[in-house]
Structure 1
C-alpha cells in the first residue's frame, strides 16, 4: 500500500481521479493532507485507507450519508460514533425487513388469489361486496382501515360518503386477509402493506423483490468491508475539546449589573 504520495499517486492507488481526491478532501471525507514547502499535497496510507473505505460506504448507504458519516466519525465522541455506525447497519436491516415483508405479502396473496373471487366488473367494490368476496365482516374492514392497512376511496352519495375499493385496494385487502390468516400481527401486516405501496407496481414481481434483496446483501457486505476502517477511525485519539472559559470576577460583576 502507498505510504506517502502525491495527489496523482493516491488517485492511481485508489481508482479515483485526482480531482475527485481533491474534492473528497475538501468535503471532509479524508483528513486534510499536509503540504510540502512548495505547496503540493502529501497524502499518506491513512488517506488511501479512508478513500477505499468511503467507496464501500457510499455503495452501502449512498454518497450523501457516507460523506457525512466519514466527517462525523472523526469528530464525535466514541459512544456517539459507535451509535452512528450502528444506525447504518440498522438502516440496511430495516430495508431488508421491508423487502422481505413485501415478498411475504406477494407470496401470500398469490396463493389466496386462486381461491378468492375477483373484483366486480366495474373494477371497484363496495364494502359489502368486498366483505362478501373475502369472507370477512364489514366491521373488520373498517378496523383495518383505521389501522392503516386499507385505504378505500370515498364517494358522495345521497346518504353521505360511501367507501369504494378500487382494484389496488382490493388487492391490498387480499394481502391483509392472507397475512392475517397466516398469523401475522397487525404491525407486521402494516409493514408489508407499506412496503407494497412504496414499491408500487414493481412490487408485483417477486423477481424484482429478489433482486432488491440481493442488492441489499451486497450493500451489507460493502458496509462490512468498510467496518474495519470505521472502527479504526472511531478508535483513533480525539483532539482535545476546548474547555469553556471561566468567567472572571469582573465579568461576573458586569453580568450581574446588567
Structure 2
C-alpha cells in the first residue's frame, strides 16, 4: 500500500487529513473525487472514505496543472494519466510544457513586432509610405488571409482608409500600422475584446507603451503557470508511475 503523506505506512487517510495535506477543503476533495481528478476512495468497514498518499499527490498535481493549463484540461489530463501507457502519459504532460513554451514564443514575437513599430515611429525623419495598400497586399505583408482583415474590420480593429464603389479596400499608412499591431497581438494569443481595448489605447500618447506593458504581464503570467507546472512535476511522476504498477517515491 502507498505510504501516506506525513503518516505511517499502510494507514489509510481520512478525508480531513487529505484536505489538510493537499490544501483543499473537505468538500473540494469530495468534489474533485466526483469529477474524476482522483480515483474513488476505498471504503472502510464503517463506510468512511479511506484515501492513500497517492490521492494527496494527485490533488497536489491537479493544483499545479489547473494553474498551468486550466481546470478542465487538468481534470482531463489527470484522468488520462491513470489509464494511459507510460509513453503516452509522459507525452501528455510534455504537451503542457510545449504549449506554455509556444505561448511564450508568441508573446515574445508580438513584443518584438511592437518594438520594431515603435522604433520606426521614433526614427528621426521617418516617413510612412504614402501609397495605400490593397487588402491583398496588406494580407500578404502580414501573412494573414484577406478574410482575416475583413473580420478585423467588422470587429472595429482595423479600418480601411476608403472602400471604392467596387468594394475595393485601400489601407493608408495609419491603417497599415494598426493592422501590424493587431497581427502581433493576435499572434500572441490575445482575444478580440482584449485587442480592441489595446487598439483604443493607441489613440493616447502612451498607446504602444501600454501595449508593451500588457505583453509583459502576459509573459509574467506564462512564467507563473510554468512554475506551477514544475512544482507539480514530482507528484505527476508518482501518479504516472503508480498507474504502471510501480510504487510512488
TM-score normalised to structure 2 length: 0.72
Spell out, residue by residue over 1:177-236, the C-alpha distance to the aligned partner (whole angstroms, 9 max, x if none): xxxxxxxxxxxxx77663386451448421111111111111111111112222222223
1:107 to 112, 115, 125: 115
8 A Cα contact 1:11 1:17, kept in partner: yes
Output the aligned Cα RMSD.
3.3
8 A Cα contact 1:25 1:31, kept in partner: yes
Instruction: Describe the shift of the 1:32–1:94 C-alpha distance in structure 2 as closer, same or farther (beyond 3 A).
Output: same
* Structure 2 partner of 1:248: none
TM-score normalised to structure 1 length: 0.69
2:140 to 132, 140, 143: 143
Structure 1: tracts of 5 or more residues without a match: 119-126, 132-136, 177-189, 240-258
2:45 to 12, 30, 37: 37
8 A Cα contact 1:10 1:43, kept in partner: yes
Spell out, residue by residue over 1:57-84, the C-alpha distance to the aligned partner (whole angstroms, 9 max, x if none): 1111111111111100011122221221
In the alignment, does 2:229 pair up with 1:223?
yes
8 A Cα contact 1:2 1:48, kept in partner: no
How far apart are residue 151 of structure 1 and its match? 2.5
* CA radius of gyration, larger in: 1
**Correspondences of 1:1-258 after superposition (within 5 Å):** 1-3=5-7, 4-115=12-123, 116-117=126-127, 129-130=131-132, 141=138, 143-144=140-141, 147-148=144-145, 151=149, 157-158=164-165, 160-165=166-171, 169-172=175-178, 194-195=187-188, 198=191, 199-200=194-195, 201-202=197-198, 204=208, 205-238=211-244
How far apart are residue 28 of structure 1 and its match? 1.4
8 A Cα contact 1:108 1:175, kept in partner: no
8 A Cα contact 1:103 1:209, kept in partner: yes
Instruction: Describe the shift of the 1:174–1:29 C-alpha distance in structure 2 as closer, same or farther (beyond 3 A).
Output: closer
Structure 2: tracts of 5 or more residues without a match: 151-158, 200-207
CA distance in 1, matches of 2:40, 2:79: 11
